[in-house]
């Protein structure tokens, strides 16, 4: 079901623009493995923008002290406003996201939703965050990756890109594989095994070697249910 819905909503190529003051932080996570291959296959375009290119003066100033005297620097509204305006002049954006510890907690459902969009912007904060007026007037969605505070929004943004990209049809050789991962349909994934069938006296469950596909599927479903009930009973209530 999810699989079909996914295809119906599928556009040509997803575009993700990431805005940051530390572009270097995004280099490695977005240039290897599945994300790299998806980019090369033309399934997703991820463009990193250095907010400093819109900074003020010779020093490409992008931050300033906060009014009220709290310690720490705040990213200024103007460079972000100008950068986003330039992007919006070229295309429509479905969502302008700010990564923030007080945003809505990211989950697989949100990853699915985002993967069906065409163009999104992800703004990474740094230091004490961004001027509140950016959040009030420009941002359309605020996402957190959990109840802890990082130094910047870059790692959270890379996480979103990874979670979203692997859901795009074609990104993984067998799309079905992304759809049987944890949290799709609110179930944890069943355990997986590979060769050898026995190591150190530890055996792979007999059924997996039986070649009986229907029985294996039933076993996997049972395992997924059992695991979810044991480790995440809260998820079962949502089914």
What does the binding site for ligand SAH look like in residue numbers (CB under 6 A)? 99-102, 124-126, 128-129, 144-146, 148-150, 152-153, 156
Closest to ligand SAH by CB, 116 or 139: 139
How many angstroms separate the CA atoms of 37 and 46, rounded?
Answer: 12
What's the chain's length in residues?
Answer: 239
Of 61 and 91, which CB lies nearer to ligand SAH in the complex structure? 61
Cα dihedral 49, 50, 51, 53, rounded to 10, equals -110
Closest CA to 141 of 117, 158, 162: 117
Q: Minimum CB separation from ligand SAH for residue 11, in Å?
A: 26
Per the omega criterion (within 30 degrees of 0), is the bond before 165 cis? no
Residue nearest to ligand SAH (CB): 125
Smallest separation (angstroms) from ligand SAH to the CB of 135? 10
User: 3-class SS at 232?
Assistant: coil
Query: Shortest distance, CB of residue 123 to ligand SAH, whole angstroms?
Result: 7
d(CA 49, CA 47): 6
Bridge partners of 58, per DSSP, are none
Q: Which is nearer to ligand SAH, 10 or 127 (CB)?
A: 127
Q: Could you tell me the smallest distance in angstroms from the CB atom of residue 138 to ligand SAH?
A: 14
Q: How far apart are CA 225 and CA 144, in angstroms?
A: 28
Which one, 79 or 129, has the nearer CB to ligand SAH?
129
CB 38, min distance to ligand SAH, A: 23
Judged by beta carbon, residue 155 or residue 208, the one nearer ligand SAH is 155
Q: How many angstroms separate the CA atoms of 103 and 233, rounded? A: 25
**Which of 121, 171 has the CB closer to ligand SAH?**
121
Rounded CA-CA distance 161/24 in Å is 16
We find the least distance from the C-beta atom of residue 75 to ligand SAH, in angstroms, to be 8
């Amino acid at each position: 079901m999810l699989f079909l819905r996914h295809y119906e909503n599928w556009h040509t190529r997803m575009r993700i623009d990431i805005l940051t003051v530390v572009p270097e932080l995004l280099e490695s996570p977005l240039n290897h493995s599945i994300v790299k291959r998806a980019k090369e296959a033309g399934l997703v375009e991820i463009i990193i923008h250095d907010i400093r290119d819109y900074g003020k003066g010779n020093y490409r100033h992008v931050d300033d002290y906060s009014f009220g005297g709290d310690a720490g620097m705040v990213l200024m509204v103007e460079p972000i406003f100008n950068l986003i305006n330039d992007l919006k002049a070229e295309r429509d954006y479905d969502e302008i996201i700010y990564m923030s510890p007080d945003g809505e907690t990211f989950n697989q459902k949100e990853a699915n939703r985002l993967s069906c969009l065409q163009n999104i912007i992800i703004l990474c904060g740094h230091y004490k965050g961004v001027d509140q007026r950016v959040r009030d007037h420009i941002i359309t969605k605020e996402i957190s990756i959990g109840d802890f505070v990082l130094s910047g929004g870059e790692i959270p943004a890379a996480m979103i890109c990874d979670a979203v990209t692997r859901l795009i049809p074609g990104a993984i050789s067998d799309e079905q594989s992304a759809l049987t991962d944890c949290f799709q349909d609110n179930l944890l994934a069943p355990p997986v095994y590979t060769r050898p069938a026995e190591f150190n006296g530890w055996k792979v469950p007999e059924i997996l070697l039986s070649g009986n596909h229907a029985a294996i599927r039933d076993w996997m479903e049972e395992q997924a249910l059992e695991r979810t009930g044991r480790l995440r009973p809260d998820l079962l209530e949502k089914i």
